[in-house]
């Protein structure tokens, strides 16, 4: 069985466990255990060499109980049907945890976008919108960026959508757009800023300062790089990064420096050489990276990277899921045993979809906010969710993931009852 399949089964187990703990009915569990709708498509693209290739694609809308589906689209070779099911379910929990009037969605295309030319990438992006056109829209399902997708791709998506729908200028169908075409200020930094906020709040709670706190970061994409930036600005020290070696796919390693790595230099290396790992420092293996003696360990890349093979060696006193689903069920059981607190993905990385929601509001209202307004509102809205998770964890004597699940599920359950579905 694939890891994504296991992950889906484990997520269902977790949903059941939390439903039982909070006293929700079997009928409720029967609704939320599977997404409401999944589209599977094969998208043909005429390649530059004259051949035609087809790419498998998916879009899952997990729940419409609280509002239109919302969530990113990833372009990655590791995308599977089960993975989008897992990730769309997590999105339902994430938006509900923030108290947003949205449901969960996620999409993906099985592709390595680095192997496509610019023209092929645009054709694939437009083909994806053609495949899901009848199932998206500001009040139906609102896609956004995710792994390997960005504002540029959202531009292609939006343009194709408008062309397909008689020129109706519904730019609120997508978020994460460039600010030059209706995107929100603060959206690009939002996820990393939110990861930083959760860590800051946790440190406040335990009465510690972030000054001098050390951290290790896996992944230096949009989420990882901004997380590192805000943490370092607040006095924390980045001791190591770990990443795929983009110049040698299938291999990954880390770079460590006990004096602290320079974020500017990492960004520069990534821009100039294609790999953030081309910096000075000691080369370390993946296993050495996860076993580093740091205060905070932040997986900010893909799923299932902390599992039974490495969780036992973790020395960090806090694990923060900046990526979606980076810790497996078995990995989490080990962390629980070792009493290492974990800030779950649906809280830690919720800043992205939160500011996406602000973008959606701005597009629909036609009135735009300045950066300070976005930043202050994000701080306030995420601060509330973080406090609620801490309080629920104490009330039910459960870990932060279970607390976050209880809060999210209770809002979805209430809405389903009010709609007469259960
Ligand atoms: N892909 C991001 C996530 O996993 C953002 C989704 C969005 O903005 O809709 O939360």
Characterize the bridge pairing of strands 103-109 and 52-61. antiparallel
Query: Of 201, 95, 98, 109, nearest to 141 (Cα)?
Result: 95
Reported confidence tier of residue 264, pLDDT bands at 50, 70, 90: very high
Q: How far is the CA of 399 from the centre of ligand 1 (A)?
A: 24
Q: What percent of the chain has pLDDT over 90?
A: 95
pLDDT of residue 207: 98
Over residues 273-293, the mean pLDDT reads 95
Q: Which of 67, 89, 91 to mutate to test the pocket of ligand 1 (most atoms within 8 A of CB)?
A: 91
List where CATH 3.40.50.10860 sits in the chain.
34-174
Taking only the tens place, the pLDDT of each residue in 12-62 is 999 999 999 999 999 999 999 999 999 999 999 999 999 999 999 999 999
Q: Is residue 63 predicted with pLDDT exceeding 90?
A: yes
Q: Name the catalytic one among 70, 106, 177, 200.
A: 106
Which residues form the pocket of ligand 1, taking CB atoms under 6 Å from any ligand atom? 70-72, 94, 144, 146, 175-176, 324, 349, 352-353, 356
Query: Of 324, 383, 403, nearest to 105 (Cα)?
Result: 324
Q: Are 263 and 192 in contact (CB under 8 A)?
A: no
Tokens of 231: 């943490």
Q: Is residue 175 predicted with pLDDT exceeding 80?
A: yes
Tokens 């169908």, residue located: 173
Phi, psi of 254 (to 5 degrees): -130, 165
pLDDT of residue 215: 98
Q: How far is the CA of 353 from the centre of ligand 1 (A)?
A: 5
Q: Is residue 192 predicted with pLDDT exceeding 90?
A: yes
| Helix locations, 98-221, DSSP H | 118-132, 151-164, 187-205
Question: Any long-range contacts for 254-262 (C-beta under 8 Å, 24+ apart)?
Answer: 254/216, 254/218, 254/283, 254/284, 254/285, 254/286, 254/288, 254/289, 255/279, 255/280, 255/281, 255/282, 255/283, 255/284, 256/281, 256/282, 256/283, 256/284, 256/288, 256/289, 256/292, 257/281, 257/282
Query: How far out from the chain centre does Cα 327 lie?
Result: 13
Query: Of 134, 133, 111, nearest to 124 (Cα)?
Result: 111
Q: What atom in ligand 1 is closest to the CA of residue 143?
A: 9
Query: Of 270, 273, 274, 249, nearest to 261 (Cα)?
Result: 270
pLDDT of residue 302: 84
pLDDT of residue 4: 86
Q: Is residue 104 predicted with pLDDT exceeding 70?
A: yes
Reported confidence tier of residue 249, pLDDT bands at 50, 70, 90: low
pLDDT of residue 251: 83
Q: What atom in ligand 1 is closest to the CA of residue 356?
A: 8
Domain 190-348 has CATH 3.40.50.720: yes
pLDDT of residue 315: 98
CATH fit for domain 34-174, picks 3.40.50.10860, 1.20.210.10, 3.40.30.10, 3.50.50.60: 3.40.50.10860
pLDDT of residue 3: 80
List where CATH 3.40.50.720 sits in the chain.
190-348
Task: Decide if 211 is catalytic.
Answer: no
Over residues 122-138, the mean pLDDT reads 98
pLDDT of residue 245: 78
Q: If you take atom 5 of ligand 1, which residue's CA is the nearest one?
A: 353
Global pTM reads 0.96
Reported confidence tier of residue 250, pLDDT bands at 50, 70, 90: confident
Q: What atom in ligand 1 is closest to the CA of residue 90?
A: 4
pLDDT of residue 1: 52
Q: Is residue 278 predicted with pLDDT exceeding 80?
A: yes
Taking only the tens place, the pLDDT of each residue in 360-408 is 999 999 999 999 999 999 999 999 999 999 999 999 999 999 999 999 9
Mean pLDDT score of the chain:
96
Burial class (CB in 10 A: 0-12, 13-18, 19+), 372: exposed
More confidently predicted of 3 and 376: 376
Q: How far is the CA of 146 from the centre of ligand 1 (A)?
A: 6
Q: If you take atom 8 of ligand 1, which residue's CA is the nearest one?
A: 353
Q: How far is the CA of 13 from the centre of ligand 1 (A)?
A: 24
Q: How far is the CA of 91 from the centre of ligand 1 (A)?
A: 8
């Amino acid at each position: 069985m694939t890891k994504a399949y296991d992950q889906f089964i484990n997520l269902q187990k977790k949903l059941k466990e939390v439903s039982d703990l909070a006293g929700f009915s079997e009928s409720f569990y029967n609704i939320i255990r599977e997404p409401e709708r999944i589209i599977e498509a094969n998208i043909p693209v005429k390649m530059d060499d004259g051949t035609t290739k087809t790419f498998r694609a998916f879009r899952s809308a997990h729940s419409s109980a609280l509002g239109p589906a919302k969530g990113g689209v990833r372009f990655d070779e590791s995308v599977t049907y089960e993975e989008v099911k897992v990730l769309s379910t997590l999105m339902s929990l994430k938006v509900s945890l923030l108290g947003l009037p949205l449901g969960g969605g996620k999409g993906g295309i099985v592709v390595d976008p680095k192997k496509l030319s610019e023209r092929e990438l645009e054709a694939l992006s437009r083909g994806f919108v053609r495949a899901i056109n009848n199932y998206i829209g500001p009040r139906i399902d609102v896609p956004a960026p995710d792994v390997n997708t960005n504002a540029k791709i959202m531009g292609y998506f939006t343009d194709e959508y408008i062309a397909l729908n008689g020129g109706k200028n519904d730019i609120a169908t997508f978020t994460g757009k460039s600010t030059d075409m209706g995107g929100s200020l603060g959206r690009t930094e939002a996820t990393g800023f939110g990861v930083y906020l959760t860590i800051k709040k946790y440190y406040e709670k335990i009465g510690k300062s972030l000054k001098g706190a050390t951290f290790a970061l896996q992944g230096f994409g949009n989420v990882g790089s901004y997380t590192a930036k805000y943490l370092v600005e607040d006095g924390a020290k980045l001791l190591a990064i770990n990443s795929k070696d983009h110049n040698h796919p299938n291999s990954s390693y880390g770079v460590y420096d006990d004096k602290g790595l320079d974020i500017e230099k990492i960004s520069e290396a990534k821009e100039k050489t294609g790999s953030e790992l081309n910096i000075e420092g000691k080369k370390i293996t993946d296993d050495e990276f996860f076993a580093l003696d740091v205060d905070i360990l932040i997986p900010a890349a893909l799923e299932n990277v902390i599992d039974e093979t490495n969780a036992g060696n973790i020395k960090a006193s806090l694990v923060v899921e900046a990526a979606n689903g980076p810790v497996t069920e078995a990995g989490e059981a080990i962390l629980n045993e070792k009493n290492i607190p974990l800030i779950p993905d649906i809280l830690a990385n919720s800043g992205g979809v939160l500011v996406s929601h602000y973008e959606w509001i701005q597009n629909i209202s036609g009135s735009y906010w300045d950066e300070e307004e976005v930043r202050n509102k994000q701080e306030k809205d995420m601060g509330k969710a973080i406090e609620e998770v801490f309080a629920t964890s104490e009330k039910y004597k459960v870990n932060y993931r279970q607390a976050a699940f209880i809060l999210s599920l209770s809002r979805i359950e209430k809405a389903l009852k009010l709609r007469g579905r259960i």
